[in-house]
C-alpha cells in the first residue's frame, strides 16, 4: 500500500490487532489537515450508471503547489474504492484535480492495480469502466433513484438465502414461519452449474413439502443481481466463463418450472429489509456476517437504491500491514473483518488450530464452540471484531444516513453477537458520542440471526391476482 501520513492509532485498540488503523480516523485526520493548511481545493467525485442515475461525493484536498499534494492520491483512491462498491458505476468523474484523475485512470484499468474493480464494474454494467477528468462544475448533477421493496406476507411462500457455507430455506404461510433449516453446501469451488441447480431445487422442494402449495418464491444471495440474473457473484467463482450462461438464467428457469412469481436480490438488501420490517422503522443498514460480509440499506423513506452495497470489497483499514483479500487483491477490505474469514485469520494469533479437513461452516462452529466453552483466546477474536465494527459503523455513517445497524449471520450466533455489539458500542461511545446517541445497533434473536434472511426473502414477490 502507498505511504499515507494520516494513519491514526485508535483510542480503543483491538486486542489482537495492534496495527489496525481505521479508515474513519485517517479520513478525518487528512481533512482536518487540509482545512488547517489554508490551501484546500474542492474535489467532486461522480459515479454514473447506465440507467442515467448519478451519485456525487464532494470533498476537499490539498491544492496544487502544496508540499503534501501527493497525499491526495491515497485519500481519494480509498474514497473512490469505497464509493464504487457502495454505489456502483460505469463512469467515474473526477472533478477538480487532473493529477488525481490521471492516477485513478492508471489504477482502474485492465492492467492497473485495481484491474479487479475495473473488470467487475465493466461486467456488471456491460460496458468498459471509464475515468473522466473534468472541472468541478462539469461533474453531472446528482440523480439518485429509489425502489420500493415488496413486504408481502400473504399466501404460501418459500424464502431462501444462498451463502458460501450454507443454504438457508424457509416455508412461510400467511406470515407464519412453519419451517426453516440450514443446509451445508460448498458452491464456490464447483465447476459444474448442475451442482447449484440441483442443490437449490432440492431445498425448494423440501420447503414446498411443508406447505399445502407454493404461491411465490423469494431469495437472497451474495453478489450482484439484475432482473433475477446473477451478473457477478463469489458463489459462482468456480464456473467456467463458457458455462456461466447456465447460471445466468438459473432462477428464471426455476421460476418458469414452478410457475409462480420469483424474486431474488442481493442478500444485504434482504438483511436490511428484515431489519426494517422487524423494527418498523427505516434508515437501516444491515450487515450479515457469514462466509463474507453482506450489506444492504433501506433508506429513510423505506426504499432501497440501485446502489451495489457490496461493502465486502470496501476498505475499512488503511494500515500498511492490513490483510490482503485473495479475490480482489486489495488490502483491508470489509470481508476480512466482518465474516468467518476474520475468525479464521485471527484464530492462529490465540493458538487455535483449525483442521483444514473441515468445511468452512464446521471451522466456524469449531471456534464458536471454544467461545461458548469460555476460552479466552476465542473471546478475544470476537472482542477484536467488535472494535472493528465500532470504527467501521462510524465510517459507514459518513456515506449512509443511518438510524439502525442490524447485525446478523453465523458470526453473530451465541455469545459472539453480544460481544460484537458490546465492542461496537464501546467504540462509538468513546470516540463518536454523537453517533452513539443517533445509531442503535440491533441484534435479532438467535433464530433470526441464522435464518432471518431466508424468512425475509419470502416476502419479496408480489402474488398476482
- The per-residue pLDDT for 1 is 41
Q: Is the pLDDT of residue 144 over 90?
A: yes
* Distance, CA of 270 to CA of 282 (rounded, Å): 13
Under 8 Å between Cβ of 220 and 162: yes
Q: CA–CA separation, 167 vs 295, rounded Å?
A: 18
Q: Distance from CA of residue 64 to its chain's centroid? A: 35
Instruction: Describe the crossing of helices 376-396 and 23-37 by its angle, rounded to 10 degrees.
Output: 40
Phi, psi of 442 (to 5 degrees): -105, 140
Identify each DSSP E strand in 165-283 by its residue range. Answer: 166-173, 176-184, 216-221, 224-226, 229-232, 262-266
Give the residue range(s) of CATH 3.30.420.40 domains in the chain.
145-465
> Of the ranges 81-90, 173-182, 216-225, 438-447, which one carries the lowest mean pLDDT score?
438-447
**Mean pLDDT (whole number) for 157-181:** 91
At residue 450, the pLDDT reads 47
Q: Is 60:31 a contact under the CB 8 Å cutoff?
A: yes
CB burial of 392-418 (b: ≥16 within 10 Å; e: otherwise) equals: bbbbbbebbebbbbbbbbbbbbbebbe
Least confident of 26-40, 271-285, 321-335: 271-285
| DSSP-derived pairing of the beta strands 229-232 and 224-226 | antiparallel
CATH-assigned architecture of domain 145-465:
2-Layer Sandwich (3.30)
The pTM is what? 0.86
Region 355-359 average pLDDT: 95
Which sign, positive or negative, has the C-alpha torsion 426, 428, 430, 433? negative
Q: Are 170 and 243 in contact (CB under 8 A)?
A: no
Task: Quote the cell numbers at residue 376.
Answer: 479466552
Can you tell me the distance from the alpha carbon of 38 to that of 13, in angstroms, rounded to the nearest whole number? 32
Amino acid at each position: 500500500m502507498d505511504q499515507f501520513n494520516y494513519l491514526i492509532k485508535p483510542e480503543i485498540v483491538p486486542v489482537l490487532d495492534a496495527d489496525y488503523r481505521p479508515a474513519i480516523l485517517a479520513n478525518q485526520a487528512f481533512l482536518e489537515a487540509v482545512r488547517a493548511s489554508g490551501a484546500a481545493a474542492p474535489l467532486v467525485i461522480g459515479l454514473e450508471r447506465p440507467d442515467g442515475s448519478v451519485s456525487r461525493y464532494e470533498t476537499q484536498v490539498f491544492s496544487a503547489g502544496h508540499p503534501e499534494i501527493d497525499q491526495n492520491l491515497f485519500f481519494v483512491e480509498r474514497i473512490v474504492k469505497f464509493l464504487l462498491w457502495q454505489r456502483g458505476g460505469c463512469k467515474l468523474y473526477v472533478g477538480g484535480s487532473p493529477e488525481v484523475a490521471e492516477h485513478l485512470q492508471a489504477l482502474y484499468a485492465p492492467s492497473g492495480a485495481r484491474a479487479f474493480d475495473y473488470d467487475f464494474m465493466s461486467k456488471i454494467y456491460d460496458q468498459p469502466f471509464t475515468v473522466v477528468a473534468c472541472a468541478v462544475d462539469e461533474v453531472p448533477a446528482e440523480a439518485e433513484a429509489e425502489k420500493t421493496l415488496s413486504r408481502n406476507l400473504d399466501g404460501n411462500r418459500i424464502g431462501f438465502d444462498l451463502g458460501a457455507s450454507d443454504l438457508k430455506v424457509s416455508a412461510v404461510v400467511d406470515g407464519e414461519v412453519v419451517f426453516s433449516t440450514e443446509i451445508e453446501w460448498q458452491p464456490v469451488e464447483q465447476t459444474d452449474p448442475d451442482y447449484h441447480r440441483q442443490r437449490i431445487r432440492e431445498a425448494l422442494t423440501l420447503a414446498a413439502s411443508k406447505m399445502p402449495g407454493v404461491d411465490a418464491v423469494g431469495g437472497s444471495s451474495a453478489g450482484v443481481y439484475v432482473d433475477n440474473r446473477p451478473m457477478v457473484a463469489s458463489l459462482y467463482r468456480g464456473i467456467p466463463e463458457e458455462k456461466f450462461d447456465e447460471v445466468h438464467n438459473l432462477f428464471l428457469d426455476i421460476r418458469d418450472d414452478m410457475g409462480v412469481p420469483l424474486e431474488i436480490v442481493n442478500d444485504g438488501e434482504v438483511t436490511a429489509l428484515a431489519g426494517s420490517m422487524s423494527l418498523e422503522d427505516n434508515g437501516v443498514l444491515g450487515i450479515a456476517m457469514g462466509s463474507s460480509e453482506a450489506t444492504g440499506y433501506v433508506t429513510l423513506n423505506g426504499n432501497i437504491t440501485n446502489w451495489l452495497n457490496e461493502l465486502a470489497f470496501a476498505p475499512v483499514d488503511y494500515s500498511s500491514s492490513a490483510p490482503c483479500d485473495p479475490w480482489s487483491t486489495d488490502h483491508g477490505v470489509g470481508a476480512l473483518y466482518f465474516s468467518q474469514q476474520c475468525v479464521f485469520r485471527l484464530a492462529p494469533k490465540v493458538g487455535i488450530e483449525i483442521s483444514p479437513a473441515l468445511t468452512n461452516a464446521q471451522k466456524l462452529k469449531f471456534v464458536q464452540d471454544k467461545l461458548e466453552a469460555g476460552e479466552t483466546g476465542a473471546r478475544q477474536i470476537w472482542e477484536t471484531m467488535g472494535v472493528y465494527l465500532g470504527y467501521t459503523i462510524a465510517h459507514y455513517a459518513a456515506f449512509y444516513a443511518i438510524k439502525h445497524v442490524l447485525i446478523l449471520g453465523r458470526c453473530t450466533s451465541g455469545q459472539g453477537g453480544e460481544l460484537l455489539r458490546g465492542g461496537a458500542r464501546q467504540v462509538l461511545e468513546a470516540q463518536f458520542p454523537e453517533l452513539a446517541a443517533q445509531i442503535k445497533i440491533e441484534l435479532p434473536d438467535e433464530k433470526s440471526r441464522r435464518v432471518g434472511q431466508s424468512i425475509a426473502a419470502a416476502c419479496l414477490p408480489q402474488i398476482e391476482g
